[in-house]
Structure 1
Amino acid sequence: MSSRTRALGICTALVLALLATAAFAPLPFSVAFPGDTADVLGKHKGKQVITISGAPTRETSGQLRMAAIVATGPDATVRLPDIVKGWFRTDQAVMPVESVYPVGDTAEKAVEHNLKDMRSSQDVATRAALNYLHKSDKDVKVKLDLGTIGGPSAGLLFSLGIIDKLAGDGQGGDLTGGQKIAGTGTITADGEVGAVGGVSLKTQAAGRDGAKVFLVPKSECKDAQAELPEGMRLVPVSTLSGTVDALKALKSGGTVPSC
């Protein structure tokens, strides 16, 4: 065997070894999937999601389903084959782990962080809804419970659920018009709707669970259209009051915003 052939063989072996190492080495990515949807007007895992005291509430029909994603945790081992598979599947998304979890978080800390975000989101969503209805949180008490689902992205749906239970459409009817409506979006106390990420996976979760209308933060229309389930209608929203108006228009057959 010539020295050149021997050197080529050694180089080939080194390259193959490096490729094998890359294929099986853990990488700093997280793989996300469509998660749960939960009707904020009803129960989730046997517990009422919205409980209101201090003011009369109304019976509602239809559903307001918040949509979530699930992602591999910060301690999970994600390798190159997982990433390649995720890139080619429409029901998965590959994201840098720091875009999903705070840097340095363990799985336990990530759960704690997400639940803290959810509790904060619930407080803000309550204030947004009561501000919209011109009611005081000194008189009206709201308890929200989504179990172990974390993060702030249910804020908009929480606010809509509170409004529907307290006032409906303002004319004796439901905001939903009896339909199964899903959506996502953060909310501020002033009623501004914010982007959340993962919307293409959330529309898939909503479609899987029977929703035909999806409320999406206006800035994420393009992402929501990427893998939109057949027959699903996107309604872009940017404020709580605008969302309520859109739902009323949807129910009455009026002009509804579109992506």
Structure 2
Amino acid sequence: MSVTPPPPVGPDHDPWIGLEPTVSRRYVTVVVAALSTILLTIVAFLMPVPYATLEPGPVFNTLGEFNGEPMLTVEGDVQTYPTDGALDFTTVSVTGPDGRLSFTEALWAWFDPDVKLVPMDFLYPDGETAEESDARSAAQLASSKDSSTVAALRALDYEVPEQVSVADVAEDGASADVLEAGDVILSVDGTAVSTPQQAIDVVSTVSPGDPVTLVIDREGAQQELSITTRPAEEDPEVPRIGVSLASTFDLPVQIDNNVGDSVGGPSAGTMFALAIYDLLTPGSLTGGQRVAGTGEITPDGEVGPIGGVRQKMAGANADDAEVFLVPAGNCAEAADGDDFGMTIVKITTLDDAISSLEKLAADPDAKVPTCS
């Protein structure tokens, strides 16, 4: 038997010596690349993205209480009637202007059918701050309260006169030191006006730089004032007098809307109006059902589209609503998904909503306008 001697060892003879550095560098390169990929992936998933989410928010029964007191109260010697069921206004929870949505959160939102992902500047144009957003929402809510009250009273055949008032005067505008906030505009260049649009239309008939004559009421005293128009910043061909206008109403019935500042925006107007109508008429408009809905409303009872209708439907479903009122302008979006087993009613006016609810109160299977 022969024995083969072991191979010589040493730097000149070890077969692994020459390979060791090469394997080590390759291994380190692979590990570093893998760790870098993992780290970059983690960073990417945690990085904020310029998007916001719209999610189902809470619902509030306009026939019930808000923060421990009735949401709607009627002042004075006016007959009100008991009712039942619910008329819920729906809300949407949105990412605030200072919020930072991560890529992971945006990805989850993308696949959630009840959540809508939108560009941040869609909700907050021109870098709007949280304070500015809150102020805008509060102003929209205040206008919605007024419009809903007027619409409901007019649906009840009350006469509700309207006037044009000056809401704000631009400090460097054409009306600075001439008009004051609270002035009521009675006529423009001899034409009587009772709505902001009428006043705007008359001013628009002159050329920028031409004067217009306004008759106003200031604290009960009438005055005639001349204002020289100026070109609008967005269009030099359009005349402006440098004021913001609003409608004021002489209400025959005083309705107090006790919704606080925890909600905002104009979209509860239709449900406010329905609740006021229900309180001032005999019987139950809901027929005992839980009715939810949304829609901006004008003083004349026109119902306009709003945002986040799918999220509001999901919120209504979570509160066991049986009927959901949808502005006609939102019907396509409302029909693009689950109806959650609710009766989806299309409305274009307050009268539409009242008529449909009266039919459903008498017969839950009654045929009413729908979005399908």
Interval of TM-score (by shorter of Structure 1 and Structure 2): 0.7 to 0.9
Which one of the candidate residues 348, 353, 356 is aligned to 1:246?
Answer: 356
Equivalent residue letter for 2:259: L
Which one of the candidate residues 265, 269, 272 is aligned to 1:151?
Answer: 265
Equivalent residue number for residue 117 of structure 1: 140
Which one of the candidate residues 269, 276, 295 is aligned to 1:162?
Answer: 276
- Measured at CA, do residues 99 and 145 of structure 1 come closer, stay the same or move farther in structure 2, by a change above 3 Å? farther
- Does residue 1:40 correspond to 2:62, yes or no? yes
SS at match of 1:129: helix
Which one of the candidate residues 240, 246, 251 is aligned to 1:138?
Answer: 251
Given that residues 204 and 227 in structure 1 are in contact (C-alpha distance below 8 angstroms), is that contact kept between their aligned partners in structure 2?
no
1:44, distance to aligned residue in structure 2 (A) = 1.8
Equivalent residue number for residue 188 of structure 1: 298
SS at match of 1:256: coil
Gaps of 5+ in 1: none
Equivalent residue number for residue 27 of structure 1: 49
SS at match of 2:91: strand
Equivalent residue number for residue 325 of structure 2: 215
1:257, distance to aligned residue in structure 2 (A) = 1.1
1:111, distance to aligned residue in structure 2 (A) = 2.1
- CA distance in 2 between counterparts of 1:22 and 1:233 reads 43
1:15, distance to aligned residue in structure 2 (A) = 8.6
Which one of the candidate residues 117, 121, 130 is aligned to 1:94?
Answer: 117
- Does residue 1:255 correspond to 2:351, yes or no? no
- Measured at CA, do residues 239 and 138 of structure 1 come closer, stay the same or move farther in structure 2, by a change above 3 Å? closer
Equivalent residue letter for 2:254: K
SS at match of 2:312: helix
15-24 vs 91-100, which moves further: 15-24
- Does residue 1:205 correspond to 2:315, yes or no? yes
Which one of the candidate residues 136, 139, 152 is aligned to 1:129?
Answer: 152
Offset from partner CA, 1:61-115 (integer Å, 9 cap, x none): 1110001010110100112211111010123211112222343222233222212
Larger radius of gyration: 2
- Measured at CA, do residues 225 and 57 of structure 1 come closer, stay the same or move farther in structure 2, by a change above 3 Å? same
- CA distance in 2 between counterparts of 1:201 and 1:225 reads 13
- CA distance in 1 between counterparts of 2:298 and 2:251 reads 19
Given that residues 82 and 283 in structure 2 are in contact (C-alpha distance below 8 angstroms), is that contact kept between their aligned partners in structure 1?
no
- CA distance in 1 between counterparts of 2:139 and 2:61 reads 21
Equivalent residue number for residue 190 of structure 2: none
- Measured at CA, do residues 60 and 101 of structure 1 come closer, stay the same or move farther in structure 2, by a change above 3 Å? farther
Given that residues 87 and 290 in structure 2 are in contact (C-alpha distance below 8 angstroms), is that contact kept between their aligned partners in structure 1?
yes
1:160, distance to aligned residue in structure 2 (A) = 0.5
Equivalent residue letter for 2:360: L
- CA distance in 2 between counterparts of 1:217 and 1:33 reads 19
1:16, distance to aligned residue in structure 2 (A) = 8.0
- Does residue 1:73 correspond to 2:100, yes or no? no
143-152 vs 18-27, which moves further: 18-27
The structure with the largest strand share of the pair is 2
Equivalent residue number for residue 285 of structure 2: 175
Equivalent residue number for residue 49 of structure 1: 71
Equivalent residue number for residue 59 of structure 1: 82
- CA distance in 1 between counterparts of 2:149 and 2:89 reads 15
1:12, distance to aligned residue in structure 2 (A) = 10
SS at match of 1:37: strand
66-75 vs 133-142, which moves further: 133-142
SS at match of 2:89: strand
> Over aligned residue pairs, what C-alpha RMSD do you find?
2.4
Offset from partner CA, 1:3-27 (integer Å, 9 cap, x none): xx9xxx9999999887665443322
Given that residues 81 and 283 in structure 2 are in contact (C-alpha distance below 8 angstroms), is that contact kept between their aligned partners in structure 1?
no
1:227, distance to aligned residue in structure 2 (A) = 4.0
What is the TM-score with the length of structure 2 in the denominator?
0.62
The count of corresponding residues between Structure 1 and Structure 2 is: 250
- CA distance in 2 between counterparts of 1:225 and 1:45 reads 34
Given that residues 102 and 110 in structure 1 are in contact (C-alpha distance below 8 angstroms), is that contact kept between their aligned partners in structure 2?
no
- CA distance in 1 between counterparts of 2:345 and 2:332 reads 12
Gaps of 5+ in 2: 1-21, 161-249
1:232, distance to aligned residue in structure 2 (A) = 1.1
